[in-house]
């Protein structure tokens, strides 16, 4: 399913309380970033937020499924993103809260990658 311009504009507007996010189309979906930190992805008009060990329990507690796709040789590939809670689509304050958690997870991942490089 293609991403509509209307859906992307809606997501950007709904996230405006978090900050001036940018949305860039990629790989049939889109990446969502703030200050060049990618903290969310959109696929099939579903918003997924970045997770890590710190915020993963929040997503698991709400039984929000992880983002996965079919990779080479038909293998199921899972990424560290989970579906956003449905209520964030109607509540800008909730969207801001969940975006903050995802952004913080993305910052932690970036820091870990930088400290891993020698």
Per-residue pLDDT tens, the chain, 118 aa: give them: 578 999 999 999 999 999 999 999 988 899 999 999 999 999 999 999 999 999 999 999 999 999 988 888 888 888 999 999 999 999 999 999 999 999 999 999 988 776 655 5
The per-residue pLDDT for 1 is 53
In sequence order, which ranges of 23-91 are alpha helices (DSSP H)? Answer: 56-61
The per-residue pLDDT for 28 is 83
Within 10 A of 95 (CB to CB), how many other CB atoms are there? 24
pTM: 0.91
| Nearest alpha carbon to residue 87 among 47, 56, 116 | 47
Retrieve residue 48's tokens: 């997924």
Q: pLDDT digit string (tens) for 24-38?
A: 998 889 999 999 999
User: Angle CA(93)–CA(89)–CA(18) in degrees, nearest 5?
Assistant: 40
């Amino acid at each position: 399913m293609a991403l509509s311009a209307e859906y992307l504009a809606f997501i950007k507007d709904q996230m405006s309380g978090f900050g001036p996010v940018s949305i860039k189309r990629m790989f049939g979906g889109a990446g969502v970033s703030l200050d060049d930190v990618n903290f969310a992805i959109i696929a099939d008009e579903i918003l997924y937020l970045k997770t890590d060990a710190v915020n993963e329990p929040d997503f698991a507690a709400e039984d929000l499924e992880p983002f996965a796709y079919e990779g080479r040789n038909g293998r199921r590939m899972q990424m560290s993103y989970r579906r956003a809670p449905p209520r964030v689509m109607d509540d800008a304050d909730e969207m801001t809260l969940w975006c903050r958690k995802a952004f913080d997870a993305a910052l932690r991942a970036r820091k870990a990658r930088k400290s891993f490089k020698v």
